[in-house]
Structure 1
């Protein structure tokens, strides 16, 4: 039996209107005081000669310093100040909007944080594009689609050089523009950047604004050099290999769906987004947007708890012993859905290790999450009889002036599931017919991000699941929880992290990625033929189980 729940395009109107409201959140506060030379964080009033771009940049500097929980970990204070001075000098003469976006993003990229960035959608959706599509595999960057004006033999070609620069150098140069915590993430960004002439020229990779000389290795093993010209995106006619769809694991637009394979005693669940009715409602409440939401469309969204009940009932009835959860297309959402999966497992011990969080409470946070901020103020009054100072850190139920690293990661089953077992909680699971007693396999890859990566790390660090696939694009102990804001002059949108997440296994805090237990990469031919070696390995594990 195959069950699908919610197609993304079904509620596009609701999501679109809410997203526009999220982007419209504005933040205002005073700028920092003067310092020597060009004022690094001077107020606009003190420096009336600052042009609008300099004002926007100083605003960004202030947001990063006040809103980010540990901005100077990867962007040391001396370097931060030096780079601030350099950018202010660079912006003394106004640059065009696209270069301004890239200058701001270069600055944010020093933080090495996947949630702290300037959104480059305007550039990445530009009219002029190079007419090829890039996909990174283990051994490099491949063209998996090209324009009809290019010969079909270039489909599946591996990039070797761009304008005389080897790809290793190109990746290093362009990768410095990406807000990333590891090379896996940089490859994901590079796949977009390599098709954008504006980015390549800004970063000094190509000299001509409309063409690039590239050297490739074709699928038949021949090296060839060609000049590729940019085209208007709407005029590109794609010549692509028709990838065969895998009969089970083909990617779909549903948030989550499953299929039981009785002969394998396995249930395959494709989990594409950590989102459902309850989590979307929680986001709307946290942002104070209830009056803008279409309640009828909200009620039409699926409830993940009901989905799990139905799926696990069928799994138990059909003697399923292995549950394979595919997170390879999951960019995150609400971590609550991962906790609910764990609640349906029979083998969890009474104590285990959990992620620990440190929240930076700032004026940025207050503007973004007013209700959450008010709740924290209420707790502070109850605990201390006074409001907490802003900015401050909130760790394990305490308000602190200075941040400290969390060493103890232990939790109890009762504490971990308190919101799920509390009848007054909107996340309460009122009935639990059966729990799954078999083996869990998680399929992961570079696109496993945010809440999906947190769930995979939590399961792996506690040995609750076996991981198969490729390393993820996020550092498990890292920053997250976006605060989205607009720059006051240009209205450019950006985001900054406000939380630090500490992975359950403290001994692995410095690991740059979450590595699977079994690392398997598909080849280009696998993609063409519709083979999924990751899932095939999971099937072999299920047979052994």
Structure 2
């Protein structure tokens, strides 16, 4: 099941807004661009914190002038470039509906680079192989190329997000990485493999999923329930209370947002379980794992951290962070650090501690493209504005560790006196 979740992560992003291909007129696009020019500055908390108002208008005018020679996809990618210049990682335009072709290969970032985590059976020899280049462009070159299209607060975010773009044919073509040919070079052991993929239609991506083979790896505690919103377990041998918080969401928060979902797990029940363990178990270390948490509503985590404060002298607390830790999860990481005198361990986060957020959205009137934007600025750190929340103790997961089910972060925590 976990393999399917990993592979379909990008598939769901693409297909969530996939609709029948419609070629919009230049007049319809012009109306949408004018609407965007008016609405986005009016709704955003502070749209021009990085890109000046004059520059924003100038960039839009350039797109308007080029409309006669641009396709739907070209226009949407030009908008993506504009949003990258705006520089708010919560503000974006969803243009995935215009993607039509993809290569049947999926990547995962490890300490040593990008590895193939799933691929069409036709290319099974590259499963687990390390990407060396695409048409001569190294991973470092690819990051530089894609930096114009991917809004990223730091290099860790760019590296993490890049995995979702490396198999999109039209985007690779737009950035002039590929042309008539595509040559992907991989290292597998001592061998170098060259592959030219046959592109497939995104409209058939679900059906084509039956043709995929997946990277075989051993499970571990961090991966065993990563599809759950949150869960906890007492590790008796290590005297560790482990709490994995994968989403800042719950039954209670859904109700507060007036979107009741009684089928969701209760965070209150989870808290009570943790408090019961703290009061009845021998605990030397409390581990809060935020590696899979990309945000939601920070309020319940903030309150939980405050409630845990009275126990902070009973054990050492470690908060695990990583490149998927984003938005409200960063707020809560700092909450736990401050309230529990916790150590941050893992790798740098995808987002910044001081950031725009509390996202809302509107749709452009003709193309119906969804535009997300920030309505609030969170200033969590005074006097400094780092590009990421950095760990006190840095630990990366290598490819071999992943394959063999070794949780390098948790293993290190168990060895710390």
TM-score by length of 2: 0.87
Partner of 1:231: 200
Cα drift, residue 463 of structure 1: 7.0
Query: Are 2:149 and 1:177 aligned?
Result: yes
Partner of 2:257: 283
Cα drift, residue 247 of structure 1: 4.6
Query: Are 2:29 and 1:53 aligned?
Result: yes
The CA distance in 1 between the partners of 2:322 and 2:296, in whole Å, is 17
Query: Are 2:397 and 1:522 aligned?
Result: yes
Partner of 1:215: 185
Q: Name the SS for the 1:165 alignment partner.
A: coil
With a CA cutoff of 8 Å and minimum separation of 6, indicate the structure with the bigger relative contact order: 1
Moved more, 158-167 or 188-197: 158-167
Deviation readout 1:466-508 (Å, 9 max, x if unpaired) = 11111110011111111111001111111011111112x3133
The CA distance in 1 between the partners of 2:412 and 2:112, in whole Å, is 21
Cα drift, residue 436 of structure 1: 8.1
**Contact preservation (8 Å) 2:231, 2:244:** yes
CA gap 1:463/1:325 in 2 versus in 1, 3 angstroms = closer
Partner of 1:129: 102
Moved more, 232-241 or 322-331: 232-241
Query: Are 2:164 and 1:189 aligned?
Result: no
Cα drift, residue 239 of structure 1: 2.4
TM-score by length of 1: 0.67
The CA distance in 2 between the partners of 1:259 and 1:436, in whole Å, is 20
CA gap 1:182/1:462 in 2 versus in 1, 3 angstroms = farther
1:399-414 matches, within 5 Å, as none
Give 1 or 2 for the bigger CA radius of gyration.
1
**Contact preservation (8 Å) 2:59, 2:82:** yes
Cα drift, residue 231 of structure 1: 2.4
Query: Are 2:238 and 1:264 aligned?
Result: yes
Partner of 2:407: 532
Q: 1:205 aligns with which of 177, 187, 198?
A: 177
Gaps of 5+ in 1: 1-7, 9-18, 21-48, 285-292, 348-433
Partner of 1:139: 112
The CA distance in 2 between the partners of 1:139 and 1:251, in whole Å, is 26
The CA distance in 2 between the partners of 1:203 and 1:263, in whole Å, is 52
1:483-498 matches, within 5 Å, as 483-498=360-375
Q: 2:297 aligns with which of 327, 334, 359?
A: 334
**Contact preservation (8 Å) 2:395, 2:408:** yes
Query: Are 2:95 and 1:120 aligned?
Result: yes
**Contact preservation (8 Å) 1:305, 1:340:** no
Deviation readout 1:2-46 (Å, 9 max, x if unpaired) = xxxxxx9xxxxxxxxxx99xxxxxxxxxxxxxxxxxxxxxxxxxx
Q: Name the SS for the 2:309 alignment partner.
A: coil
CA gap 1:470/1:268 in 2 versus in 1, 3 angstroms = same
CA gap 1:121/1:535 in 2 versus in 1, 3 angstroms = farther
Query: Are 2:62 and 1:86 aligned?
Result: yes
Cα drift, residue 238 of structure 1: 1.8
Gaps of 5+ in 2: 6-15, 18-24
Cα drift, residue 520 of structure 1: 1.0
Q: 2:382 aligns with which of 491, 494, 506?
A: 506
Q: Name the SS for the 1:254 alignment partner.
A: coil
The CA distance in 1 between the partners of 2:226 and 2:397, in whole Å, is 19
The CA distance in 2 between the partners of 1:488 and 1:264, in whole Å, is 57
State how many pairs are aligned: 391
CA gap 1:247/1:480 in 2 versus in 1, 3 angstroms = closer
Cα drift, residue 280 of structure 1: 0.9
**Pairwise CA RMSD of aligned residues?**
2.5
1:7-46 matches, within 5 Å, as none
Partner of 2:229: 255
The CA distance in 1 between the partners of 2:167 and 2:367, in whole Å, is 26
Deviation readout 1:236-258 (Å, 9 max, x if unpaired) = 52223211101565243211111
Q: Name the SS for the 1:457 alignment partner.
A: helix
